[in-house]
Structures are given as structure tokens and as C-alpha cells.
Amino acid sequence: MSGEFWITQAFNGLSYGALLFLLASGLSLIFGVMRIVNMAHGSYFMLGGYVGLSVVWRTGSFAAALLAGALALALVGVGMERFFLRRLPGQTLGQALMTIGFALIFQDLALLIWGGDPYSIPVPATLQGVLTAGALRFPVYRIFIVVVAVVIGAALWLILDRTRVGAMLRAAVDDREMAQGVGIHVPRISFAVFALGAALAALGGVIGAGFLGVYPGADFEVLPYAFVVVIVGGLGSLPGAMVGSLLVGLLDNFGKALFPELSYFTLFAPMALILALKPTGLFGRA
């Protein structure tokens, strides 16, 4: 195992983790504020990719695809929250079931609208190519994913940590009733968080479509990864989602590179260990 191997694999893991962060940060926030286990979160990722695909086909613009995917799915997320999930306050099982129902409906809709053939979003020329440093090669697109994740992570952190809205949101995560009691409009916060979470997942979907493609089944393929990230990092915690994504990205990558036959084991055994030692996840609070 050369140094080249370790650096290349670490970089690959980092870039995959960055994509997972976009997906999982929204899931974590939604759970934190609303205690909803959103099984349709993977669908936002997939539908974002499909919407982005349609936009690229029509306009040829990758930036427009990112924007349209995020906006469209923010609307979908808000619609789900406003008209359906809000009617089942506190009913965790009912909500989870409802989100599964949505996920299945989204799956059929996508098949109906986009058909079942796999597609991939053409990446703009500036993001193609490879940066080389000696024998090391870093695909520009993967660097781009890392940069996007870092920018979004930093923005989220600033909002949560430094703004009034962020403080209200953190209060709602910590104790919903108390927050309501001191005059924070929690339903409005839920609404915003759902929009943001769905938009982030869709953004991940469009970006992911650039190297993973869009295809039926992508929704339920990424969902377990998102849950692992969120559960390991700690529900509702942004630093948790960051560290969790990085950890899962690296574990998945090195697991597959070193022991391909054990790829699930190398991902889930450390998860089990972390949860056994710290049941609330790395950054979660009881």
C-alpha cells in the first residue's frame, strides 16, 4: 500500500462524504426540529437529480439545474409538511408511514415522467478534467463537490450559530415546548427547515447526478447512508452531520478498497460500536 493509495482513497472518501453531507444535513435538521423520520428524504435526492436533468436538457445550464432542482424540491418538501405531516403532530409512526407512502409514490411518478433508463447530467467543461500532482490525480468535479459542501456547511453553521433565526432553531431542536412557550413560532421554523432540508437533498441529487447518474432506485439506495450519517453524528446536530458524513465516506471507501467482500461490515460494524458506546451518536444530546 503506497502513500499514493492512501491519499487517493482518502480524497475519494472525502468527496463521497461531502455528497453525503448535502443529503444528510437536511435529514438531521428535519428530525431535530420536527422529530420526523423522513423516509422520503432519498426521494428528494432522486427527484432533484431528475428535475436538474430536465433543466439541463432544456437550457444546457448546470447552474440553472442546481437552482431549479433545489427550488422545486423545496416546494415539494413544504407541501408535504404543510398539508400532510402537520396533521399528525407527535405521531411518529403515522408520520414515518406517511413519508414511506410519499417515497413510493415519488418512485412511480419518476418512472412515469422520466422512464426507467439511467441518465447522467452532463457536467460543464470547467468542472471536467483532472488535477495532477506527481502520480496523484484529483478529478476537478470531486473537488467541486467538496467545495460546495464546505461552503454550505459553513453557511449553515453561521446561520445556526450566529443569527437570531439560528438561535430560535436551536431552541426548537433542544426543547420544542419550551421554545413555543417563550414565543418562538415553531411551526414557521418547521416549515423553513423542511424547505431547506429538501432543497439541500435535491442539490446533492443534482450534483450527485454528475458522477453517479440518475436512475430508478437511487432514492432507496442513498437513504440508508443518510440515516447512518445522521444516527452516528447525532440527530439534529450539524457538526454531527459533518463528522458523520466524513466518517461514513471514508469508511465506505476504505472498506470497499481494502475488503470489498466485507463492504457492509466495514461500514456498519464501526456504527454499531459507536452507538453501543454513545447511544445518542457522536454529537447528539439525550
Partner 1 sequence: MGRLEVRMLAALVLGAGLAALQAPVVTEAQDGPIRLGMLAPLTGPFAQVGKDMVNGAELYLDEIGRVATGRTLELIVEDSEGNPSTALNKARKLVEQDKVHVLTGGLLANVGYALQPYIDGQKIPATYPVIAADDITQRKPAKWIVRTGWTTSQPMHPFAEWVIKHTKYRKVATIGMDYAFGYETVGGFQHVFEEQGGRIVQKIWTPLNTNDFAPFLAQIKRDADAVLALFVGRLAVQFMKQYEESGLKGRLPLLGGGTTTDESALPAMGDEAIGTLTALHYSEGLDTPQNRKFAKAFEARAGKIPSYYSEACYTGARWIVEAIKALQGRVEDRDTFLAALRRVSIKDAARGPMTIDAWGNPIQNIYIRRVDKVGGRLQNVVIATVPAVSQFGKYPPEEYLKLPLYTRDYPPCKHC
Q: Which residues bind partner 1 (CB under 8 A)?
A: 5, 8-9, 12, 15-16, 108, 111, 115-120, 122, 130, 132, 137, 139, 141-142, 211-213, 215-218, 221, 252-254, 256-257, 260-261, 263-264
Q: Output the CA torsion 261→249→25→278 (10° steps).
A: 70
The x, y and z cell numbers of residue 206, run together, are 443534482
- Of 10 and 71, the one with the shorter C-beta distance to partner 1 is 10
- Of 157 and 254, the one with the shorter C-beta distance to partner 1 is 254
Nearest approach, Cβ of residue 119 and partner 1 (Å): 5
Burial class (CB in 10 A: 0-12, 13-18, 19+), 196: buried
- Of 170 and 256, the one with the shorter C-beta distance to partner 1 is 256
E strand or H helix that includes residue 136: strand 136-139
| CA–CA gap between residue 8 and residue 5 (Å, rounded) | 5
- Of 89 and 115, the one with the shorter C-beta distance to partner 1 is 115
Nearest approach, Cβ of residue 5 and partner 1 (Å): 7
Nearest approach, Cβ of residue 37 and partner 1 (Å): 22
Count Cα atoms within 13 angstroms, Cβ side, for 171.
Answer: 17
Torsion sign, CA atoms 169, 92, 79, 199: positive
Nearest approach, Cβ of residue 43 and partner 1 (Å): 14
Nearest approach, Cβ of residue 168 and partner 1 (Å): 37
The radius of gyration computed from the CA coordinates of the chain, to the nearest angstrom, equals: 19
- Of 11 and 283, the one with the shorter C-beta distance to partner 1 is 11
- Of 18 and 39, the one with the shorter C-beta distance to partner 1 is 18
* Cβ-proximal residues to 168 (8 Å cutoff; 6+ apart), any chain: 179, 184, 189
Nearest approach, Cβ of residue 217 and partner 1 (Å): 4
Residue 278 CB neighbours (<10 A): 13
Judge contact between 110 and 50, C-beta under 8 A: yes
Nearest approach, Cβ of residue 213 and partner 1 (Å): 5
| CA–CA gap between residue 284 and residue 239 (Å, rounded) | 10
- Of 40 and 179, the one with the shorter C-beta distance to partner 1 is 40
